[in-house]
A = this chain, B = another copy of it.
C-alpha cells in the first residue's frame, strides 16, 4: 500500500492521479491533498479519499472547507507545506508554476519521494532541489510523459552507454503557422492543443514550445545529463513520448496513446505496472504513420531561450520561468500578443542576467524581481 499526497489535487494532473488511485484501492491511498481555489472539488475529494489533511490557497475559503469537513478529523489549513509533510510514501507535485517549490523542498527534507509534474520546480532551482534530495535520501521521480518515457528507456541500460535523449514535442496548435499567423493568434487558438488536455498555463507553454524548453531543463536535472545531450524533435502525433540514443547507434523509444493516466500510473506504482484496461490500446497500423521534423527555433524562440538560460545557469532559469509565467498570464488576459510572450522573457533576462542563485532565498528573490520586471516590460510595451 502506497500513500500519496497530492499538491494540486484539483488540477488536471491531480484529478487524473486520484482517478488512478481510485482504481487500485488495494495498492494506493491518499495521505493529503493541497488545492488552490477550487474549494468545492477539494471538499468532494476529501470526503471520498479521507486524507489526514488538506490545504487551500486562500484564508477566506477556510470556513467553508472546515465546515464541510467537520467531524471527519481531516485537518484543514492554508499551508501546502503541511500537506507535503504528511505521512506519505510519495508526494505528487502538480502545482502550476513556482508555487510548488517550497512544498517540494519540504517533502524532500522529510525524506519523502516526490513525483514531479510541476516542472518549474526543477527549472527554477534544479541544482538546489537535487542537492536536497541527495542530502535527505529522497528520490525525485518524473511525472511528465516525456520524462517517464525516458525513465522507461533508460531502465536496464548502463548510464555510460547513453549518447543523448530526444524529447518529442507535438509542435502544439501552431506547428505549421507563419510568424504573421502567430502574431494574430488568440488565447482560444493557443488553448486548442491537438493531442493533450492540460491546464491553461502548460497549454500556452506548449504552443510557444517554452514547455519543451522547460522539459530540456527538467531532463538535465532528473537524468544528470549535460544540456548538449538533450535534443528536441517535433512529432505531431504525440505517440512516441521520447527516445534515447545509445553509444552503438541503437535507439529506444517509449510509445503510447497520449493519456496522462498511463505515465501517472507508471510513476505511482514503479517498478510495478498498473493495467488500465478501459483505455483504448495503441494501434499503430490504424494510425498508419508517425511523423518527425526538426523544431524551428526562428518561429519558436522559447526553445533557444531555454537553452541559453540553462547554459548561463545561476538565477537565469528562475528569471525565465517567472517572466514567462507573467507573460503567459498577460497573453491569456488579452494584454499582449502571442509573439510577445518570449519577447517579454528575453527583455527581463537581459536586465537580470548574471545573478547568482546560491540558495532558495536567492532563487525566490530572482523570481520576485523577474515578475516585477516582466509586469513593467508589459505595461511599458518595451518587449
Mark out the residues of chain A between 260 and 276 whose CB falls within 8 Å of any chain B CB in the assembled complex: 262, 265-266, 271-276
Asked if residues A249 and B281 are in contact (CB atoms below 8 Å), the reply is: yes
Whether A1 sits at the interface, judged by CB under 8 Å, is no
Instruction: Report the bound CA distance from A272 to B250 in whole Å.
Output: 12
Q: Which residue of B lies closest to A168 (CB)?
A: B284
User: In this assembly, does A156 line the interface, its C-beta being within 8 Å of a C-beta of chain B?
Assistant: yes
Give which listed residue, B155, B240, B249, B276, contacts A249 with CB less than 8 A.
B276
Residues from chain B with Cβ under 8 Å of A44 in the complex:
none
Selecting from A70-78, A134-142, A289-297, A356-364, the interface stretch reads A289-297
Say how far A166's CB is from chain B's closest CB, in angstroms. Answer: 8
| Contact yes or no, B273 A153, CB < 8 A | no
A34-60 with Cβ < 8 A to chain B? none
With the chains together, A343 CA to B118 CA distance in Å?
60
Q: How many copies does the complex hold?
A: 2
How many chain A residues touch B (Cβ–Cβ < 8 Å)?
Answer: 46
Q: Are A262 and B250 in contact (CB under 8 A)?
A: yes
Is A63 an interface residue, CB under 8 A from the partner?
A: no
- Which residue, A156, A274, A279, A287, has most C-beta atoms of chain B within 10 A? A156
A233 on interface, CB distance cutoff 8 Å: yes
In the assembled complex, the CB of A364 is this many whole angstroms from the nearest CB of chain B, namely: 37
* Complex interface bits, A291-325 against B, C-beta within 8 A gives 1, otherwise 0: 11110000000000000000000000000000000
**Per-residue B-contact encoding for A277-291, CB less than 8 Å = 1, 0 else:** 001011011011111
Q: A262-B249, A273-B247 are in contact. Are A157 and B158 (CB under 8 A)?
A: no
* Inter-chain contact B233/A250, CB cutoff 8 Å: no
B contact residues around A293 at 8 Å (CB): 285, 288
A225-264 to B contact mask, C-beta < 8 Å, 1/0: 0000000011000001001011111111111110000100
* Residues of chain B lying within 8 A (CB to CB) of residue A279: 249
**In whole angstroms, how far apart are the Cα atoms of A293 and B294 in the complex?**
25
What's the Cα separation between A158 and B155 when bound, in Å?
A: 11
A287 to chain B, nearest CB (A): 7
Find out whether the CB atom of A247 lies under 8 angstroms from the CB atom of B275.
Answer: yes
3 pairs of A and B residues whose beta carbons are closest in the complex: A156-B156, A155-B156, A284-B292
Chain A to chain B contacts (Cβ below 8 Å), 24 pairs: A152-B157, A156-B156, A158-B271, A158-B273, A161-B272, A233-B284, A233-B285, A234-B285, A243-B255, A245-B282, A248-B262, A248-B265, A248-B276, A249-B281, A249-B282, A250-B254, A250-B262, A251-B256, A252-B252, A253-B254, A284-B292, A288-B291, A289-B292, A290-B292
